[in-house]
């Protein structure tokens, strides 16, 4: 068994012959999801959360699974995404190993895991599969789709490919396509995994996964999720206690940062399938919203059908730099969408939407409150973005300003 499924996960079957953008199709496939909160009588309070590369569908603690979720500080009763008000649906990405069909799943025609024979995946496929979950739950239109990192890319694809499925969007540290630097990092991660002697061209057994390659790849990923200043502030040149170093698999008399990377990487690789990691990594690299508009991503943004959007980025994020979030905000605004743009100053880098909830939470709560009261949040009377200005206060603004 190589799938790692939270105990409260539910499933929706995908239609047989589910077509994939890059060729091929899936039969007998399923999507994993969890819901929190209650759908109102009008079915108008649904919020869809699309994850980054590695999370499962357990976004927060709830009565059927009280353990903390991966975004517990953001989602739940009385939290920014208030489940006393909103019916939250979180899906595990197609291609993952956390319940949705992916390379670690059993191929119904062979009775064996797909492994490297899983068909090439795209983020458009993830968007289409998530849209199927929403409709299967009897929801004709979402109030909001929320996506961060890979989920932010998937959210853009969902809005483009399923016009009218959502009225509003929250896009956190997303992009219309990956920058060359991010592609290079992920290519190196894949190379590290495939260089492991246990890789076996992706045909490894469950008990003999290429864990050394995965550990190295995950360490590289962890480094890219935080800013250099954050690493300095958290660890400096602190040394590990020799006993702790041995337990973490770090060198004797190693540095504290080595122990941190070793510990977190080991914990991750025990719960993630290498083939799934490669499939989703390649899907991120291959995504380009411009495919929806003859190669013009800005044109694709202008054609997205939304009432309003909150777009947020982080000044220290070098994996998804803020220039990419500005592009999303300006493209949406040029198409007539009411946009609220927030540029957060944080040392947490790409991980800030998870680690710096004090800065991400209030704008998200304010945006959702505006939707609930029927106001169009973030509309700019001029219709034109002005140059970003760094402000101290995180209050809502109607123009493209940085806070």
Q: How many residues does the chain have?
A: 403
Closest CA to 229 of 354, 343, 347, 359: 347
Closest CA to 396 of 376, 377, 372, 382: 377
User: Are 219 and 70 in a shared domain?
Assistant: no
List residues with catalytic annotation: 149, 317, 350
Question: How confident is the model over 248-273, as pLDDT tens digits?
Answer: 666 666 888 988 999 899 999 999 99
SS3 180: helix
The answer to whether residues 352 and 317 touch, using CB atoms and an 8 Å cutoff, is: yes
β-pairing, 46-50 with 142-148? parallel
Domain boundary among 259, 281, 303: 281
Across the beta sheet with 30-36, the strand order is 10-13, 30-36, 87-91, 46-50, 142-148, 166-172, 308-314, 338-344
Please report whether residue 382 resides in a domain.
no
Question: Residue 241 burial (CB < 10 Å; 0-12/13-18/19+)?
Answer: exposed
Distance (Å, whole) CA 145 – CA 159: 9
Distance (Å, whole) CA 323 – CA 302: 17
Q: What is the CA radius of gyration of the chain?
A: 21
DSSP state of 273: -
Domain boundary among 258, 281, 304: 281
pLDDT exceeds 50 at position 8: yes
Residue 326, token pair as written in the block: 């500005």
In this predicted structure, what is the pLDDT of residue 250?
A: 61
User: Are 246 and 193 in a shared domain?
Assistant: yes
User: Are 349 and 203 in a shared domain?
Assistant: no
Read off the CATH number of the domain in which 323 is found.
Answer: 3.40.50.1820
- Lowest mean pLDDT, pick from 175-184, 242-251, 311-320, 329-338: 242-251
The 10 Å Cβ neighbour count of residue 139 is 20
Total tally of structural domains belonging to the chain: 2
Please report whether residue 78 resides in a domain.
yes
User: Are 261 and 172 in a shared domain?
Assistant: no
Q: Give the position of tokens 């012959």.
A: 17
Q: Give the position of tokens 């054609």.
A: 303
Taking the model in full, what pTM does it have? 0.91
Domain boundary among 281, 303, 329: 281
pLDDT exceeds 60 at position 38: yes
Question: How confident is the model over 74-84, as pLDDT tens digits?
Answer: 999 999 999 99
């Amino acid at each position: 068994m190589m799938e790692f499924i939270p105990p409260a996960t539910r499933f929706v079957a995908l239609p047989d012959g589910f077509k994939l953008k890059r060729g091929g199709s899936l039969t007998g496939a399923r999507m994993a999801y969890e819901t929190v909160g209650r759908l109102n009588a009008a079915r108008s309070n649904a919020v869809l959360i699309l994850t980054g590369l590695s999370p499962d569908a357990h976004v927060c603690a709830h009565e059927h699974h009280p353990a903390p979720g991966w975004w517990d500080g953001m989602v739940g009763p009385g939290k920014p995404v208030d489940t006393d008000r909103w019916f939250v649906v979180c899906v595990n990405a197609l291609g993952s190993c956390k319940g949705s069909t992916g390379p670690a799943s059993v191929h119904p025609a062979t009775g064996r895991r797909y492994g490297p024979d899983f068909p090439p995946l795209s983020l458009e496929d993830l968007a289409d599969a998530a849209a199927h979950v929403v409709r299967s739950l009897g929801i004709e239109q979402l109030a909001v789709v929320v996506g961060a990192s890979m989920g932010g890319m998937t959210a853009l694809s969902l809005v483009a490919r399923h016009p009218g499925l959502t009225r509003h969007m929250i896009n956190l540290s997303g992009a219309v396509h990956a920058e060359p630097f991010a592609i290079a990092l992920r290519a190196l991660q894949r190379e590290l995994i495939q260089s492991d002697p246990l890789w076996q061209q992706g045909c490894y057994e469950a008990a003999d996964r290429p864990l050394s390659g995965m550990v190295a790849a995950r360490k590289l990923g962890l480094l890219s999720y935080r800013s250099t200043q954050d690493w300095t502030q958290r660890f400096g040149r602190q040394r590990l206690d020799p006993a702790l170093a041995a337990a973490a698999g770090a060198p004797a008399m190693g540095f504290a940062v080595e122990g941190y990377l070793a510990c977190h990487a080991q914990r991750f690789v025990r719960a993630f399938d290498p083939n799934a990691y490669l499939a989703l990594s390649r899907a991120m690299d291959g995504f380009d919203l411009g495919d929806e508009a003859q190669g013009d991503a800005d044109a694709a943004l202008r054609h997205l059908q939304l009432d309003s959007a909150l777009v947020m980025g982080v000044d220290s994020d070098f994996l998804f730099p803020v220039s990419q979030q500005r592009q999303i905000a300006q493209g949406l605004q040029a198409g007539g969408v009411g946009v609220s743009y927030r540029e957060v100053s944080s040392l947490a880098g790409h991980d800030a939407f998870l680690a710096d909830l004090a800065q991400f939470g209030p704008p998200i709560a304010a945006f959702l409150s505006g939707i609930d009261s029927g106001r169009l949040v973030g509309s700019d009377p001029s219709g034109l973005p002005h140059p970003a200005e760094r402000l101290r206060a995180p209050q809502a603004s109607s123009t493209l300003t940085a806070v």
